[in-house]
Amino acid sequence: MFFSLIACLIILSSFITFVWILTVKSQTPKKIVVDRTPDVPYENVTFKSGTNGVKGWFIPSKISGGKSPLIIIIHGWGSNRSRMKRYIKPLYSEGYSLLLFDVRSHGESEDVKAPTVKIFREDVIAAIQYAKSRNEIDPNRIGILAHSFGGLGSIIANQEDLGIQAVVADSIPVQFSTIMKAALKMYKMPYYPLGPMMINIMFIRAGISRNELKEYDVPKALRNRKSAVFLVHSKKDDFVPSTELDYIVRQVDIPHIYVESKGHRSSETDPKFWNHVLPFFHNHLHGTGGQVSCPTKMPL
């Protein structure tokens, strides 16, 4: 009996250790090299988020004179700013200035111990503050185009009055169970019993309390949004399923479209994407003295 108890304790201890190690690994995004640069004039920039340095690119508007509207482009988990080049040309062509940056623990930005959606939220806020400090930018005409986890962080941040006018969130995960299922899928491991345990460990490591977790309820955050939001998700997303958008629209009346592009990082290849996203930004960012050309509109 005694030896059976010891054996059980050893097995339990080994399992807990395994889950902890797997959680730390899952919570440590792979650093992808920033190996591509914009095909338009740009400036390397650095700004602070908390005590950490954040690296990015500022792309001035192609239209000279006056203060321009700006769109902040934000990547997802395990990505970096160079992976977001796919969004640059259509927005730059419309006359927007752009700001792209590496979220902390990604790309060339400094690392944090246990990154979560909280880090994305904080870095979104820091990027907005930095953008408003630039003389070329109209601080009253700032929008966000964010992918995946970057979109999640932007939706959470948009509960605060940050002075932005529009957020487009592309292919965002919404439920923590979905996020964890996607992570475990890469390791070919089942969600139960690992998933719920790993979610709790992640928040413990990040110092996020249960009360703070209430801020990360996406339908609630959308109901409390301070600026206009438009959601996009591909029905053929094989990483974060489009049922995440289904989950949102069942609870919140929010402008959205489904596209048909294959994969998690290709929504913009469907013509419907830009035919809706560009008019959405134009409607909310052109202002009274807008410099942005008006794109061809399609019914929403």
Residue 109 corresponds to which tokens in the numbers above? 């930005």
Q: How far apart are CA 190 and CA 84, in angstroms?
A: 31
Virtual torsion, Cα 112, 124, 207, 213, nearest 10 deg: -150
Give pLDDT, residue 164.
97
Give pLDDT, residue 80.
98
Nearest-CA neighbor of 107 among 85, 127, 87, 79? 79
Domain spans in the chain, listed from the N-terminal domain onward: 39-190+209-285
Give pLDDT, residue 292.
40
Burial of 62 (0-12, 13-18, 19+ CB in 10 A): middle
Q: How far apart are the first and last CA of the chain?
A: 69
Consecutive H or E run containing 147: strand 137-147
Q: What is the CA radius of gyration of the chain?
A: 20
Question: What CATH number has the domain spanning 39-190+209-285?
Answer: 3.40.50.1820
Residue 271's Cβ-side half-sphere holds a number of Cα atoms within 13 Å equal to: 3
Question: How many residues does this entry show for the chain?
Answer: 300
Residue 233 corresponds to which tokens in the numbers above? 């998700």
- Average pLDDT per block of 10 residues along the chain, 300 residues long: 78 90 93 95 98 98 92 97 98 98 98 95 98 97 98 97 97 94 88 93 92 92 97 96 97 98 96 97 74 37
CB 225 within 8 A of CB 253: no
Indicate the pTM of the whole model. Answer: 0.92
